[in-house]
Structure 1
Amino acid sequence: MCTGKCSKFIGISLFPFSIICIIANILLLFPGFGVEAIQDAGSRMTPEVLYLGGIIGGGFLVLIPAIHILATGQRKNCCNNRCGMFLSIIFAAIGLVGAVYALTVSAFGMVYGPVCEFRNSTGALVWGQIFKDNIKNFSNESYLFNKDLWQLCEKPDNVAVFNISLFSIVLTASAIEIILCVVQVVNGLAGCLCGTCQKK
């Protein structure tokens, strides 16, 4: 495949995944589809959500490079040359950093679990990350693999499922973004050395 066409394909492919990351992270700001966590000045918000891995990392840090990478793939465009391909390597690297950030934050968000209301050892209702406090290792004892533990979170409703689902979406989308950005780095290098096939 021509390096220019490959850039166009990668640029177009990055758009939906960055939008998915942004939407999933925005939804995470409303645990259980409620607004109580936001209204409470964010003190009941899962910290990993506030790191905005999906919005900043997998979202805008990928979306902006996607625009340049797409422009690199256009035939009649000032970016469709060796210099444009070189710049696409830099933009792909920025996108790669953003996607890695999103993947890392979402992985920690899944492993540590949501902030929720639960009963402590004395039976009193408290807010915190019960699964993070009780974490030992990523094994069958983790709440991710034991649905019975999800009921420990009393409020917001079904917050464990909500947290796992949306962080999984961000994690998957950012993993695909990483692959696409790495491919574009290789493609951009090939475009720098061999040209963009713009005369074909």
Structure 2
Amino acid sequence: MCTGGCSRFVGLILLPLGFICIGANLLLIFPNAERKWVDHITLQVWLMGGILGGGLLVLCPGCAAVRAGGKGCCGTGCCGNRCRMLRSVFSSFFGGLGSFYCLVVSATALEGGPLCYVEPGEWQYPFHDPLNGTNYLANQTLWSTCLEPKNIVMWHVVLFSILLAASAIELVLCGVQTVNAAIGVFCGDCRSKPKHHADVS
């Protein structure tokens, strides 16, 4: 696959992944799709790893990669798409940083667990205890510790797992596009150019 075709392919995958991260982070702000719990959500949700890191910072390199897979900035020939490839190098680098940020935030959230209402009547992180070797992810019987919001542990685990998986894929794709676009800057687009037929008088 040529550099232009590869750029377009990567960009078309990054764009939906970015929107998935934004959607997952928005759902995390409203546990069980209810507004009344907004004041009691996990710190990692407020860090906006999905909206900022895996979302906005990845949508930009996604768009840049799709554009780099199109015609050159001066049409066919001329700079041979090198200008757009150069922009894609820088945007993919920052997209990789954003997806890495989302990856770290999601992994930390899954490790610490959700903030929830527990007995004897207080809000806390019941599964965030470094001295306790119990893994709440492997032992679902512990999930009943959280009384409110209902099903908050499942909500937390599923959405942050989606963010973790999506950001990991984004990180790989941004790395691939950084290398691909750098090759495109120096070598140009390997796609065949349309032939121009001279007018016969």
- Structure 1 gap ranges (5+): none
TM superposition score normalised by structure 2: 0.89
Superposition CA RMSD, Å: 1.6
Pick the structure with greater CA Rg: 2
Written as runs of structure 1 = structure 2, the 5 A alignment for 1:43-82 is 44-75=40-71, 77-78=73-74, 81-82=81-82
Q: Is the 8 A contact 2:116 2:123 kept in 1?
A: yes
Q: Is the 8 A contact 2:116 2:146 kept in 1?
A: yes
- Whole-Å separation in 2 of the counterparts to 1:22 and 1:149: 29
CA shift for structure 1 position 192: 1.5
- Whole-Å separation in 1 of the counterparts to 2:131 and 2:155: 22
- Whole-Å separation in 2 of the counterparts to 1:9 and 1:29: 32
Written as runs of structure 1 = structure 2, the 5 A alignment for 1:40-119 is 42=39, 44-75=40-71, 77-78=73-74, 81-119=81-119
Q: Residue in 1 aligned with 2:178?
A: 185
Written as runs of structure 1 = structure 2, the 5 A alignment for 1:136-151 is 136=131, 141-151=134-144
Q: Residue in 2 aligned with 1:12?
A: 12
- Whole-Å separation in 2 of the counterparts to 1:150 and 1:27: 20
- Structure 2 gap ranges (5+): 194-201
- Whole-Å separation in 1 of the counterparts to 2:56 and 2:184: 25
- Whole-Å separation in 2 of the counterparts to 1:74 and 1:147: 49
Aligned length: 189
The one-letter code sitting in structure 1 at the alignment partner of 2:89 is: I
- Give percent identity, aligned residues only: 43
Q: Residue in 2 aligned with 1:165?
A: 158
- Whole-Å separation in 1 of the counterparts to 2:100 and 2:140: 28
The one-letter code sitting in structure 1 at the alignment partner of 2:160 is: F
Written as runs of structure 1 = structure 2, the 5 A alignment for 1:17-36 is 17-36=17-36
CA shift for structure 1 position 82: 1.8
TM superposition score normalised by structure 1: 0.89
Q: Is the 8 A contact 2:44 2:109 kept in 1?
A: yes
Q: Does residue 135 of structure 1 match 2:130?
A: yes
The one-letter code sitting in structure 2 at the alignment partner of 1:54 is: G
Pair 136,187 (structure 1): closer, same or farther in 2 beyond 3 Å: farther
